[in-house]
Amino acid sequence: MNTPLAERIRPKSLDDYLSQQHLIGEQGALTAQLKSGVLSSLILWGPPGTGKTTLATIIANESGRPFYTLSAVDSGVAAVRQVIEQAKKSDSLFTSKNPILFIDEIHRFSKSQQDSLLGAVEKGWVTLIGATTENPSFEVIPALLSRCQLYILKPFSRKDLEALLQRALKNDSVLSTKNVTLKETEAIIRLSGGDARKLLNILELVVLSENASEGENITITNEMVQQKVQKNTVLYDKTGEQHYDIVSAFIKSIRGSDPNAAVYWLARMIEGGEELKFIARRLVILASEDIGMANPTALVLANTTFQSVTSIGYPEARIILSQCTIYLATSPKSNASYIAINKAQKLVKQTGDLSVPLSIRNAPTKLMKELGYGKEYEYAHDYEGNFVAHEFLPEEIRGTSLYVPGNNARESTLKKHLQSLWQEKYKF
């Protein structure tokens, strides 16, 4: 039996599909589309082993549409165009059952490869279903993303994973012939990292490696699983509680200026197989949110780190991440920029669309100039020190203070500078 267990028991219908009830349950976001037969192009975003490929296949089966599939790992523009040409010849083209093109790991497609899909999606030659483990906002081009609905698949719950184990033991043509007792599940669930495919692979490995005689009972325990898998796996679930806890510890260690702890939690993520670009993105966010104006170079270094990690990859990228982590942890801290934008957004929501003062409006036409647009604007470079005390906020909120410099060396200098310029307006 060469077919993996995960493939042998892959659900064929929505009734057999575990989890994701927010998508395919009675009130699910996809349920109405499937019932109506009108399906829009969509992106399925979720962790590995949460059923993205299975769901795409079931959607095609339940809607009765021709189904074409490509893997972004080994398909180029030529392959995409070939499939689109095949789809254009389908008898169901331009009907409510136009062909489905499923692209697994669509985040691995380059911009040009994603561009090659636009015409087919826009003209209705295919209904695109893309699957990705990466944030589509970063990995899917805006033009394609705007033409698709985004659906997020949630990690399997422990209850779902245990139900999947029981289903495999009961329904699989191979494992159902064995006398298996699932006494403990902690180790097998932990080692799977929440990945259903990995979970089933481990189960099959453990059961078949026993070589039990016919009728002999196989009792699965945590110790047995650890021995069979023979892998000292770091306790780190990339999709579950450990993921969020360790990322939180990492960020808080940097914010708390503790480089030792920060590098330790970085190592935990790396050893646990965390996506390197995810770590780098968090560093970029932190560089602005928690360091900001106290050391603006931090954002430059963090962004360079993200670009370097993207182009270099593991294992060398770990050194770059370590350098950036230590730099950010040892930098002075300020969340003044973060607080300023929060206050500004809150103010906008409270006050609505206030008019731009006439003096700072653009005046590209004669009529606008006659109406007073830009009339009283004072050009800063015409004044001594390249500064003049002009009011730039709407009349209703003039004098409002949003940015308050933090208590650090650089922003203390900024504070003195602003006070020397504005005198009465900037009093901190």
Query: pLDDT tens for residues 12-59?
Result: 888 888 889 889 888 888 888 888 878 889 999 988 888 999 999 999
Instruction: State the Cα angle at 293 between 287 and 298, rounded to 5°.
Output: 35
- 116 inside domain: yes
- 271 inside domain: yes
Q: Are residues 251 and 224 in the same domain?
A: no
- How distant, in Å, are the alpha carbons of 18, 258, 358, 363, 372 from that of 172? 16, 51, 74, 74, 79
Q: Are residues 136 and 27 in the same domain?
A: yes
Q: Are residues 80 and 115 in the same domain?
A: yes
Q: Are residues 186 and 272 in the same domain?
A: no
Q: Are residues 317 and 400 in the same domain?
A: no
Q: Are residues 53 and 69 in the same domain?
A: yes
- 342 inside domain: no
Per-10-residue mean pLDDT for the chain, 428 residues long? Answer: 83 86 87 82 90 91 87 81 82 69 90 88 90 87 92 89 92 87 88 85 88 80 84 49 77 94 92 87 95 96 94 89 96 94 92 86 79 83 86 86 88 87 74
Tell which of 152, 167, 199 closes a domain: 152
- 15 inside domain: no
Q: Are residues 323 and 368 in the same domain?
A: no
Q: Which of 114, 1, 4, 2 is nearest to 49 (CA)?
A: 4
Q: Which of 349, 339, 332 is nearest to 397 (CA)?
A: 349
pLDDT, residue 86, reads 84
Question: What predicted TM-score, i.e. pTM, was given to this entire model?
Answer: 0.56
Q: Are residues 278 and 195 in the same domain?
A: no
Q: Which residue has the tokens 């270099």?
A: 312
CATH of the domain at 201: 1.10.8.60
Tally Cβ neighbours within 10 Å of residue 28. Answer: 16
pLDDT, residue 232, reads 41
- 267 inside domain: yes
Query: Packing angle between helix 259-271 and helix 276-286, nearest 10 degrees?
Result: 150
Q: 338 is written with which tokens?
A: 């973060």
pLDDT, residue 4, reads 87
CATH of the domain at 255: 1.20.272.10
Tell me whether strands 67-71 and 100-104 are parallel, antiparallel or unpaired.
Answer: parallel
pLDDT, residue 238, reads 52
- 346 inside domain: no
Q: Are residues 56 and 121 in the same domain?
A: yes
Q: Are residues 148 and 165 in the same domain?
A: no
What are the beta bridge partners of residue 42? 129, 149
Q: Are residues 298 and 393 in the same domain?
A: no
- 13 inside domain: no
Domain that holds residue 310: 241-330
- 6 inside domain: no
Q: Quick check: 69 and 100 in contact, CB under 8 A? A: no
Q: Are residues 171 and 219 in the same domain?
A: yes
Domain count, the chain: 4
Tell which of 288, 315, 330 closes a domain: 330
CATH of the domain at 92: 3.40.50.300
pLDDT, residue 62, reads 85
Tell which of 152, 184, 200 closes a domain: 152
